[in-house]
Amino acid sequence: MLPIEAILSSPSPTPPPGRPIGHSREGREIAAYRLGRGPLRLSLIAGCHADEPVGPAMLRRLQDKAREQGTPAEVVQAPAEDLPFEDASFDTVVSTLVLCGVDQERSLGEVRRVLRPGGRLLFLEHVRSEDPALARFQDRMNRLNRFLVGCECNRETLTAIEAAGFTISQVERTVTPEAPKFVRPLVVGAAVAA
């Protein structure tokens, strides 16, 4: 079971702040911190990057939570398409419901750039349904959904991850509970930078 998958399989999909959800290759904990508006909207720090656009109040709350937990972390606000980090500076990047709302090609290129060789991308993302009827419904709803919440729920995200130079090492298709039908299809997985 993927560490991030354990969050989804728990009775409450939102982990308690500071709950370890995995470890970097160097053995550092990856801790979960909630930030944003959805029950699955996570920002992961302690060696990872939170790239959801947030305001100053949310950033302060995240910094406060990190201090309360004793987690050494630098909170950085930056667009996913232009990460302000050196090449090969991370061993793990976690993306949770990010790739549906950003320029996938540029964002995944940036993730690939900041990962060390063999680094991992852990992801939990909306995707286009494998069911043709639901995929057509996603296509019909996508323009409205993009306008209302900035999410393109009908993207071929796994294909985009592979096209960015990753090898998908684990993936599970699942659904987002209690979400509108057209945004339920979800993938949870891991990919390795080639």
- Domains of the chain (ranges; CATH) run 3-193 (3.40.50.150)
Distances 32 to 49, 94, 145, 172 between C-alpha atoms, Å: 11, 10, 27, 20
Q: Can you tell me whether residue 45 is helix, strand or coil?
A: strand
pLDDT tens, residue by residue, 168-192: 999 999 998 788 999 999 999 999 9
pLDDT tens-place string over residues 41-88: 333 333 333 334 456 666 777 777 777 777 666 667 778 888 888 898
Task: Give me the pLDDT at residue 4, please.
Answer: 47
Residue 129 main-chain phi, psi, to 5 deg: -70, 150
Q: Residue 18 pLDDT > 70, yes or no?
A: no
Whole-angstrom distance between the N-terminal and C-terminal Cα of the chain? Answer: 22
Q: Return the H-helix or E-strand segment holding 134.
A: helix 132-149
pLDDT confidence bin for 97, thresholds 50/70/90: confident
Confidence at residue 166, expressed as pLDDT on a 0 to 100 scale: 96
